Amino acid sequence: MKKILIFLLFVSFHSFSQEVISELISNTSVTKNKRYISEDKSILSIPFIDDFSYLSPQADSNLWQDNSVFINRNYGINPITIGVATFDGLNRFGRPYNINLTGADSENADTLTSQKIDLSDVDTAYLMFYYQPQGLGNDPQLTDSLILDFSSGIDTLGNIIWNTIWKIEGSSFYEFKKFAYVFTDSDYLTDKFYFRFRNLASVTGNFDHWNIDYVKLDEFNSPSDTSELNDVAFVRNTPNILRRYKEMPWVHFVNDVVPEMNDSLDIVLRNNTLINQSIDYRYDVYKNSNLVYHYPVLGGNNSTRNVSVPPYVSSGLYSFNSPPVMLNHQMFPVSSSDSAEFLFRNSINTPPDDYKQNDTVFHVQRFYSHFAYDDGSAESAYGINVQGAKIAYEFKLNRPDSLRVIQIKFVEMNEDLDGNKFALTIWKNNNGQPGQVAYKDTVEIKYEDRGRFTNYYLKNGVGLVGTFFVGWEQITNDILNLGLDKNSIANQYMFYNIGGGWVNSQFPGSWMIRPVVNYDEALVSSIINNNELEWKIYPNPFMESTTIYFSEFKQRTISIMDITGRKLKTINSFNMQIDIKADNMKSGMYFIQISDGEKQSIKKIILK
């Protein structure tokens, strides 16, 4: 059980300072009021198949009796199909089984027991599944085993008699491996057969992870039953639609749609058969249950793109590269709303005998009032154990705006830091790094129920333009345990400073810090007379046209925005003089924002 990983950075004054990530002691993605399922349901017939591709964190109660394992798409690396069942040291509520245990021995932890299965009409059966240690979690040690048991009847007290069929010791990460067991024993081929997985782990936290995928129990007819899976499937969540963020404010998205969206989707499939498979692919975008966009465009709303997917064993994962799956920058209907939400659905049409549950993946693309690099789920805790150390997260505005709330997700660890103070800080941009402090206030760590984000309300709102940075300066040397999302990589925007200057974080992932914007004209107006760029505009006020004057030739982007910050037009120019025409603009106040790639500036203009 490896609880803490430390990155040591040797600095010029010959002391060591530390950037630290720690394994979690709880899992806040598990629903708080999970119902424990212990009763037998209707006797199941074969085939029994579960690939854990559903979105619920609980195991399917139609197939399994208990739900202490975590069903997820976060911990498995290159799974057989999308979704895995993760075994760890946490109970069904996502809490340690025994946080006060001091010994280092592995204890009984999670159990996943099947519902009753009828095998009485079968003379030979097989159970097949795939397993992986660690994944994106903590590596199980030699004593942290994964175990498979079969039932062989009932004892005199009415308890199931269990026989261990297979057991494997803990290890560091490796790709998913297959285990297949063919059996003819009459003790198992009954009308009351059960099987279960269980693990031995440290029960003091979210440690010693095992992932299992694609469990299948069926009648054995030939060796081909266990040599392949008849399945072509998605293996990852819906790829990012946005180029930079996971989520961003709608008003900033619609102000600059093209650079904010990816040009194409990285769709990845896995063909688990041994032959090429022909499949049809499509994606659809819905708003309020109404279809607003469909790919491929040609052929109408029922058209699909046909591809031949080669076997994974010979060619690995399949990606749509030639040509790629393109994203249309007009796929999201633009409106004047403050927020928007779209359902983005990817689907494949596979042969009739292919398992269908993993043929569709979707996510909700939210455009609210915050910026987010993370997906909302923390796989580790991040911190720095240096008093005076600073962390700063880079964000970029597409229009002038004001900041009033910072959301931060702290994760609870063994040491309770509730009430620990730090200096919440906002910096202006200085050539791509944190510069002048725009806001600073001493606040306290607060843990929200089930690990939700804590809202830190700024005492005074901050007007901002262009790039800014959000983070903190440490008052103590305590590790503050900020949530780290390992599935979303944003290191190019994550900076820390331990006294030797700003550098990027070395641990792949994204910090769980989200700035919330709320346009305030007074706050925005307070920043428009900055002098980061030297330029003049005359006349101002103007009637039909006005001219911007610069002192040198340089490539610049000039944006004209209305009083709400909505972008009306954009001009790219290398000239020293740029004419701005009124065109269809109405009388009133406007903003002109200018960027030369390094600095930005904004001023008011008045149209009479």
Per residue in 201-211, pLDDT tens? 999 999 999 99
- Looking at residue 450, its pLDDT comes to 64
Per-residue CA distances from 291 to 287, 300, 307, 342, 534 (Å): 7, 12, 24, 10, 48
Domain made up of 528-607: CATH architecture: Sandwich (2.60)
Sheet holding 577-581, edge to edge: 535-538, 545-550, 577-581
Is it the case that residue 8 has pLDDT exceeding 80? no
Percent of the chain with pLDDT over 90: 71
On the question of a common fold for 234-251+258-366 and 528-607, the answer reads: yes
Strand pairing category for 390-396 and 467-474: antiparallel
Is it the case that residue 451 has pLDDT exceeding 80? no
Q: Is the peptide bond before 508 cis (omega within 30 degrees of 0)?
A: no
- Looking at residue 477, its pLDDT comes to 92
3-state secondary structure of 337: coil
Q: How confident is the model at residue 414 (pLDDT cuts 50, 70, 90)?
A: confident
Query: Dihedral of CA 52/286/510/484: which sign?
Result: negative
263 contacts: CB under 8 Å, gap ≥ 6: 324, 326, 327
3-state secondary structure of 253: helix
Give the number of other CB atoms < 10 A from CB of residue 153.
12
- Looking at residue 526, its pLDDT comes to 73
Q: Can you tell me the distance from the alpha carbon of 361 to that of 283, in angstroms, rounded to the nearest whole number?
A: 10
For tokens 């042969």, the residue is: 351
Percent of the chain with pLDDT over 70: 93
**Average pLDDT of 428-432?**
90
With CA atoms as reference, report the closest residue to 5 among 18, 22, 17.
Answer: 22
Contact 205, 26 (CB under 8 A): yes
Q: E-assigned strands of 202-327?
A: 210-219, 232-234, 264-265, 268-271, 277-287, 290-295, 305-309, 318-319, 325-326
- Looking at residue 6, its pLDDT comes to 41
Q: What is the CA radius of gyration of the chain?
A: 28
Tens of pLDDT, residue by residue over 299-321, are 899 999 999 999 999 999 999 99
Domains of the chain by residue range: 48-227, 234-251+258-366, 378-522, 528-607
- Looking at residue 46, its pLDDT comes to 97
3-state secondary structure of 525: helix
**Average pLDDT of 463-487?**
94
- Residues facing residue 196 across a β-bridge: 113, 149
Q: How confident is the model at residue 1 (pLDDT cuts 50, 70, 90)?
A: very low
Tens of pLDDT, residue by residue over 221-265, are 999 999 989 999 999 998 899 999 999 999 999 888 999 999 999
DSSP per-residue letters across 434-479: EEEEEEEEEEE--PPGGGPPEEEEEEEEEEE-SEEEEEEEESSS--
- Looking at residue 128, its pLDDT comes to 98
Put residue 316 in one of left, alpha, beta given phi > 0 → left and psi -120 to 50 → alpha: left
Q: How confident is the model at residue 28 (pLDDT cuts 50, 70, 90)?
A: confident
Q: How confident is the model at residue 448 (pLDDT cuts 50, 70, 90)?
A: confident
Among 54-63, 328-337, 434-443, the minimum mean pLDDT is found in 328-337
Is it the case that residue 531 has pLDDT exceeding 70? no
Tell me the average pLDDT of the chain. 90
CATH 3.40.50.620, applies to 234-251+258-366: no
Is it the case that residue 196 has pLDDT exceeding 60? yes
- Looking at residue 456, its pLDDT comes to 97
Tens of pLDDT, residue by residue over 144-179, are 999 999 999 999 998 999 999 999 999 999 999 999
- Looking at residue 17, its pLDDT comes to 52
- Looking at residue 147, its pLDDT comes to 98
- Looking at residue 9, its pLDDT comes to 38
Tens of pLDDT, residue by residue over 352-378, are 989 999 999 999 999 999 999 999 999
Tens of pLDDT, residue by residue over 64-122, are 998 899 999 999 999 999 999 999 999 999 999 998 887 777 999 999 999 999 999 99
- Looking at residue 159, its pLDDT comes to 92
Q: Amino acid identity of 392?
A: A
**The whole model's pTM is what?**
0.85
Give the number of other CB atoms < 10 A from CB of residue 222.
7
- Looking at residue 39, its pLDDT comes to 56
CATH 2.60.120, applies to 378-522: yes
Give Dmax over CA atoms of the chain in angstroms. Answer: 97
CATH number at 48-227: 2.60.120.260
Q: Can you tell me the distance from the alpha carbon of 38 to that of 111, in angstroms, rounded to the nearest whole number?
A: 12
Q: Can you tell me the distance from the alpha carbon of 428 to that of 465, in angstroms, rounded to the nearest whole number?
A: 9
